[in-house]
Structure 1
């Protein structure tokens, strides 16, 4: 299956591939495109059932999402790349790095978990039921509350409207499919097998993926560097300059 992609920057430059959070799309990476596309080929993938990408068949796993990403990159002539994932996109990125390790030069995992404990899985099932019964609108304001600090939300109404529109535009089928596999997440045994250089980015105010949890997450990866950013969950939006600078420093090492 080939997914929708958005490509910016010189074709001959090193490639950075970006995978977005649930209920968003490749558009989430807009703050990173302009600064990074001057030096890199920036490839933003719409994950299955999000943005302009069709959903995968029922019962698709993280491995299926990862293979769809890898197949899409091959279709666009992208064989070697650094991979950046945010939240759900980072969960998929871990599987890409496991299943297609020879293609991943460097790995950035932002604001994500390696395992979904039972109480959190129950919350995801509640969210799936709400979307199935009453639509994606049920997820908008609660997601924004989790994704941004109150101070940022109050000071940035246009940015919140932009993210609100991405959530509202997410197909319900795509959200439910992604939520279902997030509820099954257990990549704990995968982390020690990630042998490429890895950057783990946390939001210092992130309640969904707390900084302390992310530090432990990074400690399980052999070649990981940890950086905390002044943001909640969508750190690339709330702290775009710090997020972009961290990626550039890491890729340039």
Structure 2
């Protein structure tokens, strides 16, 4: 899964991405602090039947950052630029955590370009305590104080699979550009309600997945999102936390395959 570089319209805006397989286009968006390699199990499997495109988010991996004051709609616009540069039409779109916020925003803003949308460990309308906690962490990251142990302890258990995934995630977090991380995390902290009131506009197949042990992207959030979408579906994976696509890769990939096989609006019976 070699990474390639895509040049956007502005000379300084480059995007690193993985582009594998042939078939209908599937775009995978990782979470804040991660990189496209975090989708490794899904890229390997789903690229057998789809053209899978997994970009590094701005300021992550090999992608150029967005300006420091960027908000969630700026990341949605960035994704539109990426798909335009790739000359893609409508795509199936799956995002994890911050990537889920971008995916939902894109589905709402560009319905004609979204065939399906899946949100993994997505946040939705945090309560005041959760919002205060994530905004406090955003301020710490912006100030250069980055505690990695606390989120890693929250995201992973003690199973061999969790430990292996934790080591990989720790490596990605340690290598992320601090400024790019701070920009993305601030947008993540403020973005959980940006498109929340418009989810009912989504007409394409919608899937929300999380782990029953994820305290911040809770099953209740996934269920609330799915209930707002005409053909939404929520799945809770028992015994897993925030990085379900790495700790339960086979279960997540199977759910994504089912989602990819769901009829699109044009195929729905009248």
* Length-normalised TM-score, structure 1: 0.91
1:130 aligned residue:
140
Tell whether 2:84 aligns with 1:74. Answer: yes
Q: Shift of residue 218 of structure 1?
A: 1.2
| RMSD, aligned α-carbons | 1.7
**Deviation (angstroms), 1:198:** 0.5
| Conserved? CA contact 1:23–1:166, under 8 Å | yes
Q: Contact (CA 8 Å) 2:161, 2:247: kept in 1 or not?
A: no
1:252 counterpart residue number: 261
Which residue pairs with 2:227 in the alignment? 219
Structure-2 residue corresponding to 1:9: 21
Shift of 1:35: 1.0
**Partner secondary structure for residue 196 of structure 2:** coil
Cα displacement string for residues 89-133 of structure 1 (whole angstroms, at most 9, x for unaligned residues)? 000111111222101101101111122333223222322333344
Aligned pairs for 1:1-253 (under 5 A) are 1-10=13-22, 13-136=23-146, 138=147, 140-148=148-156, 150-152=157-159, 156-185=162-191, 186=193, 187-230=195-238, 231-253=240-262
Whether the 8 Å CA contact 1:2–1:71 is kept in 2: the answer is: no
Distance in 2 (alpha carbons) for counterparts of 1:232 and 1:175: 22
Q: Could you tell me whether the CA contact under 8 Å between 1:48 and 1:55 is conserved in 2?
A: yes
Instruction: Give the Å deviation of 1:30.
Output: 0.6
The SS at the match of 1:53 is coil
Structure 1: runs of 5+ lacking an equivalent: none
8 Å CA contact 1:135, 1:172 repeated in 2? no
Matched positions, count = 247
Alpha-carbon distance in structure 1 between the residues aligned to 2:219 and 2:106: 24
3-state SS of paired residue (1:151): coil
CA distance in 2, matches of 1:198, 1:173: 33
Change (3 A) 1:147 1:71: same
Moved more, 28-37 or 118-127: 118-127
Is 2:16–2:62's contact at 8 Å kept on the other side of the alignment? yes
* Residue 36 (structure 1) shift: 0.9
* Structure 1 residue 2, shift from structure 2 partner: 4.7
- Structure 2-normalised TM-score? 0.86
